[in-house]
Amino acid sequence: MNKEPVNRELFDDVMVPNYAPGTIIPVRGEGSRVWDQEGREFIDLQGGIAVSCLGHSHPGLVGALQEQSEKIWHLSNVMTNEPALRLAKTLCDLTFAERVFFANSGSEANEAAFKLARRYSWEHFGPEKHEIISFRNAFHGRTLFTVSVGGQAKYLEGFEPGPGGIHHAEFNDLETVKKLISKEKTCAVVIEPIQGESGVVPADPEFLKGLRQLCDDNNALLIFDEVQSGMGRTGHLYAYQMYDVVPDILTSAKGLGGGFPISAMLTTASIATSLGVGTHGSTYGGNALACAVAQKVVDTVSQPDILKGINKRSGHLRKGMMDIGERYGVFSEVRGAGLLLGCVLTEKWQGKAKEFLNAGLEEGVMVLVAGADVVRLAPSLIIPDADIDEALVRFEAAVKKLVA
Ligand SMILES: *Cc1c(COP(=O)(O)O)cnc(C)c1O
């Protein structure tokens, strides 16, 4: 086995250069704390970008993984397996959904959602009704279809031609959707209830209600991409429950596996019939190991006391960040919901979010960015209060150095 020591420099020698990771290499984590190769300790407010929703090395998740690993890891989709069936049943019990498709990443869940929407419309209304409406600055993944539906042109640059029939409206502006939607052509409208990657921007409740109505009026399916906003992030199992607007299709990933790759597309029984036998598939989707871990995540996060705790922690973290923002004049606003927070940089600091991330690392706290103007936080949903306090102390030290 290759046990040669490795460091950050090796990245440039052996990895495709599509990422620019920092110099620190974390090797161990427990709860909301992480240690690097040198034994330096960090408080993790990144949560693996809203993935590690129960922190690192959660005993329940480790137990679920170990237990399933000694039974059976994988079966082809020619077979079904117990963990997948149980997880699908649980997700249906806890949401609007009646049918579930499992995949391995957010992109794949969205790919399945977009394909299902097209297929459903094709079956019920004919091939003309295939257009998808999404929103500027939206993020739906990196496959060619999902990146085309996403609202950031730079991610498609040089990869064209992408699939056709995709239109982009303005987020939180119903009039721009009205101009694009039609009974004849639109098969689906897809939206992140809270835009994550582009700055943690929550949809207005009235806007989502308006979208639901527009979709109903035009026989179009409403798809919520809850890859980032789901699995407890907002203090509700899914953000649609907070908004009280029910989609036709919902995608879930990131937090769903708590760090084990798994995603799901949820929908109703009648829509699901359009993905008949042989129309779509995935080798790993519904993998027994992944479903066993996700089951533990869902069982844990959906407990009322855990969900309530998220709002309490949110208030604590939000207030702390607002205080720092005011004291040093760095944030104009802290927005988002639950434990998906975006600290919006003041004019003077715009474009410099990455500097806050780097300064944080120097002081032992890991934060994220969402674009160049927003410092994003997506910590463990069960981060201890003491870790929030310590993270705030460290982040304040980082800001103090930055503004000096
Ligand atoms: C992260 C993300 C995706 C993509 O998920 P992958 O697992 O990277 O494919 C899609 N949609 C949203 C809203 C996301 O935040």
Pairing state between β 221-225 and 201-202: unpaired
Mean pLDDT, the chain, integer: 97
Evaluate whether 149 touches 140 at the Cβ level (below 8 Å). yes
Taking the C-alpha atoms of residue 263 and residue 253, their distance in angstroms, rounded to an integer, is: 4
> Phi/psi zone of residue 53: left (φ > 0), alpha (ψ -120 to 50 degrees), beta?
alpha
Atom of ligand 1 nearest to the CA of 229: 13
For residue range 28-63, what is the model confidence (pLDDT) as tens digits?
Answer: 999 999 999 999 999 999 999 999 999 999 999 999
Residue with tokens 């030290």, as numbered in its chain: 397
Cα separation values, 210 from 121, 129, 172, 173, 180, Å: 21, 21, 10, 10, 14
Taking the C-alpha atoms of residue 205 and residue 29, their distance in angstroms, rounded to an integer, is: 37
The conformation of residue 101, written as its DSSP 8-state character, comes to E
Atom of ligand 1 nearest to the CA of 49: 1
Please state whether the peptide bond connecting residue 161 to the residue before it is cis, i.e. omega within 30 degrees of 0.
Answer: yes
For residue range 297-342, what is the model confidence (pLDDT) as tens digits?
Answer: 999 999 999 999 999 999 999 999 999 999 999 999 999 999 999 9
Evaluate whether 224 touches 191 at the Cβ level (below 8 Å). yes
Closest CA to ligand 1's atom 5: 106
* Sign for the pseudo-dihedral over CA of 93, 197, 141, 287: negative
For residue range 282-309, what is the model confidence (pLDDT) as tens digits?
Answer: 999 999 999 999 999 999 999 999 999 9
For residue range 65-89, what is the model confidence (pLDDT) as tens digits?
Answer: 999 999 999 999 999 999 999 999 9
What is the distance of C-alpha 209 from the center of its chain?
22
Residue with tokens 């137990």, as numbered in its chain: 63
Q: In what helix (H) or strand (E) does residue 36 lie, and over which residues does it extend?
A: strand 33-36
How high is the pLDDT of residue 2? Answer: 74
Pairing state between β 374-377 and 340-345: antiparallel
* Phi, psi torsion values for 188, nearest 5 degrees: -160, 150
Taking the C-alpha atoms of residue 334 and residue 277, their distance in angstroms, rounded to an integer, is: 47
For residue range 262-286, what is the model confidence (pLDDT) as tens digits?
Answer: 999 999 999 999 999 999 999 999 9
How many CA atoms are closer than 13 Å to the CA of 246, on its beta-carbon side?
8
For the purposes of burial, counting CB atoms within 10 Å of the CB of 113, is it exposed (0-12), middle (13-18) or buried (19 or more)?
Answer: buried
How high is the pLDDT of residue 4? Answer: 86
Evaluate whether 265 touches 285 at the Cβ level (below 8 Å). no
Sheet with 374-377: strands ordered across: 331-337, 340-345, 374-377, 368-369
pLDDT-based confidence at residue 1 (cuts at 50, 70, 90) = low
> CB within 8 A of 5, min separation 6: which ones?
none
* Helix segments in 56-156, DSSP class H: 59-69, 82-94, 106-125, 144-149
pLDDT-based confidence at residue 3 (cuts at 50, 70, 90) = confident
Estimate the share of the chain in helix, then strand, then coil, as percent rounded to the nearest 5.
40, 20, 40
Q: Which residues approach ligand 1 with their CB closer than 6 A? A: 105-107, 110, 139-141, 192, 196-197, 225, 227-228, 253-254
Closest CA to 186 of 251, 108, 120: 120
For residue range 200-247, what is the model confidence (pLDDT) as tens digits?
Answer: 999 999 999 999 999 999 999 999 999 999 999 999 999 999 999 999
How high is the pLDDT of residue 338? Answer: 98
3-state secondary structure of 251: strand
Is a pLDDT exceeding 90 seen at residue 358?
Answer: yes
Pairing state between β 263-267 and 99-103: antiparallel
For residue range 159-193, what is the model confidence (pLDDT) as tens digits?
Answer: 999 999 999 999 999 999 999 999 999 999 999 99
The conformation of residue 277, written as its DSSP 8-state character, comes to T
DSSP of 142-203, one letter per residue?
A: SSHHHHHHSS-GGGTTTS----S-EEEE-TT-HHHHHHH--TTTEEEEEE-SEETTTT-EEP
Pocket test for ligand 1, best of 52, 111, 139 (most atoms within 8 A of CB): 139
For residue range 385-394, what is the model confidence (pLDDT) as tens digits?
Answer: 999 999 999 9
Question: Domains along the chain?
Answer: 8-58+304-403 (3.90.1150.10), 71-301 (3.40.640.10)
Is a pLDDT exceeding 90 seen at residue 111?
Answer: yes
Taking the C-alpha atoms of residue 249 and residue 291, their distance in angstroms, rounded to an integer, is: 20
Name the token pair of 6.
């490795």
139 is in an annotated binding site: yes
Atom of ligand 1 nearest to the CA of 197: 15
CA of 226 to the centre of ligand 1 (A): 9
Atom of ligand 1 nearest to the CA of 108: 9
How high is the pLDDT of residue 296? Answer: 98
pTM listed for this prediction: 0.98
